[in-house]
Amino acid sequence: MMTTIISFGVLLAFGLAAIITVRWWNLELVGPQPVSLFVFISILFTSGLDVGLVMFPLAWDFPLYADTAAEPAYGFTNPLAIEFGYWGFLIWAFYFLTGFYFCVIEPRVKFFEIPLVKLINNIVIIATCAFTGALFLIYLPYYVPMVGDGETVIPAFYGVVFLVIAAAAWSSTDLRFVKILSVSSVALFFGLIALAWILAGMGLGDFTTSVSNVGGYFANIHKFVLPMTDYHEFFLFWWFAWSIMIGQFTARFVGGLKTWQFLLALLVIPSIPLAMWFGVLYHYFTAGIDTTGLMNWAMVVVGVIFVVNSFDSLIRLYTDNLGMTVEKLGKPVYLAGNIGLLFALTLMFQSQWLQIQWVGCVVIALYVGCLAYVLSRHRATVFSIDSMPEGQKLS
């Protein structure tokens, strides 16, 4: 049943993305708060990805994909190509679809302003935010075994997660902090790639050999559309869970790209640092290089910053949506409410009481409901669009 739901959702999303690209190929996209392409991609990259990017590959993914005896579905290419396919290129079309929708269509149809839809959407945002914290908590022991036994989540780890949520809540109080943190995080991520390269003693030839494995993804790109395993299905649900809220948040920052440029930017630009990162990590995996020490700590630091980035963007989004702003509540109440709510939900996800697949199903239902609403009530309005709404045009 779940496989059928996610397969339908993926095909629907890619189909809608193709229709949008063809219909509005040259439409200039401008959000209410446009920024430069670099700042936009920085916000998108750090908000639209989370700690799994840093912590999954070596801790879980590469060993899983390499064990083709246990998982024969992965035998068609190499582990790096599969990892890239789960995180890069085509999958970013989800963010293209929702970013375009919230930039161009939602201001005219206001589906997400319907009270019940708004409530459901914000529950999704809050739940997915907490899921990010739970992942961080679950995988933290692998990277800081010197603090514990390397397997058990100890009280200190709960303290770290609580402080991360608190830092994100504080950052969310001002959009300037969100922008600055996003740009700084991208710089730190490239710094982490450089540090990993140096600590591994890689030469340019080593890097080129490792990263060239990404070609296995593009040679088999069609195999990444529908779920090939339960784990791939989990990733697709995870992307769906993020897709509406990231599109809603980042659409406000689009700064004049045409539709085809917007699609190309989302598919290509984030995929470059992803390929570099996975290429360096794959060398660690194939060469059996230990990450204990400085590399582990560096990954934890960058992982923490990515969690803060994800949290602050989403906190800002759902508090704006619900009118629970700093100005309305006051900073002490705003901070206490968000920190308490997200920490409690993080513990629920960590205990497996909540599942991200359920959230993904709700998001797919929102896709279907939105499409039906647009076609039944606003079809003429939407298909007559040939410019941005008033107030969202570059002067």
- Alpha-helical segments (H) within the chain: 2-23, 37-48, 52-56, 62-66, 79-87, 93-100, 106-109, 115-143, 155-171, 175-200, 204-211, 215-219, 230-250, 259-268, 271-287, 294-322, 326-329, 331-350, 356-377, 379-383
Residue at 391 is within a domain: no
Q: Residue 16: is its pLDDT beyond 80?
A: yes
Distance CA 384, CA 148 (A): 60
Q: Would you say residue 262 lies in a domain?
A: yes
Kindly state whether residue 214 falls inside one of the protein's structural domains: yes
Q: Which residue has the higher pLDDT, 281 or 127?
A: 281
9: in domain: no
Question: How many domains in the chain?
Answer: 1
Degrees to nearest 5, angle at CA 130 with 129 and 136: 100
Residue 387, classified by CB atoms within 10 Å of its CB into exposed (0-12), middle (13-18) or buried (19+), is exposed
- With cut-offs at 50, 70 and 90, classify the pLDDT of residue 292: confident
Q: Is the pLDDT of residue 395 over 60?
A: no
Task: Report DSSP state, residue 389.
Answer: P
164, 138, 124: which is closest to 367 by C-alpha? 124
At residue 393, the pLDDT reads 63
User: What pLDDT is stored for residue 75 in this prediction?
Assistant: 94
The mean pLDDT value for 44-67 works out to 85
Asked whether 137 and 157 are in contact (CB, 8 A), the reply is yes
290: domain range?
27-69+89-383
Judge if pTM exceeds 0.75.
yes
Number of other CB atoms surrounding residue 304 within 10 Å: 19
pLDDT digits (tens, 9 = 90+) for 82-117: 999 999 999 999 999 999 999 999 999 999 999 999
Structure tokens at 28: 């200039």
Say if 115 falls within a structural domain. yes
Residue 319 has pLDDT above 70, yes or no: yes
Q: When comparing pLDDT for 329 and 226, which is higher?
A: 226
pLDDT of res. 325: 83
Give the Cβ contact number of residue 24 at 10 Å: 20
CA distance 293 to 60: 19
The Cα–Cα gap between 42 and 37 comes to: 8
Q: Rounded to an integer, what distance in angstroms lies between the CA atom of residue 138 and that of residue 356?
A: 15
What is the pLDDT of the chain when averaged over all its residues? 89
* % pLDDT > 90, the chain: 53
How many residues belong to the chain?
Answer: 395
Distance between CA atoms of 216 and 78, rounded to whole angstroms? 7
- Per the listing, tokens 């630009």 go with 269
pLDDT tens digits along 112-148: 999 999 999 999 988 888 888 887 888 788 777 766 6
Contact assessment for residue 58 and residue 287, using Cβ atoms and an 8 Å cutoff:
no
Q: pLDDT per residue over 184-198, tens digit each?
A: 888 999 999 999 999
- Residue 395 covered by a domain: no
Backbone region of residue 261 per phi and psi (left: phi > 0; alpha: psi in -120 to 50; beta: other values): alpha
For residue 241, tell me if it sits in a domain: yes
- The confidence score (pLDDT) of residue 348 equals 78
Supply φ then ψ for residue 28, to 5 degrees. Answer: -80, 125
List, for residues 325-380, the tens digit of each pLDDT value.
888 888 899 999 989 988 888 887 777 666 788 889 999 999 999 999 999 999 99
Of 295, 311, 206, 247, nearest to 99 (Cα)?
247
What is the rounded CA–CA span in Å between residue 149 and residue 154? 9
Could you give the CA distance from residue 329 to residue 320 in angstroms, rounded to a whole number?
12
Instruction: Say whether pLDDT at 202 is over 60.
Output: yes
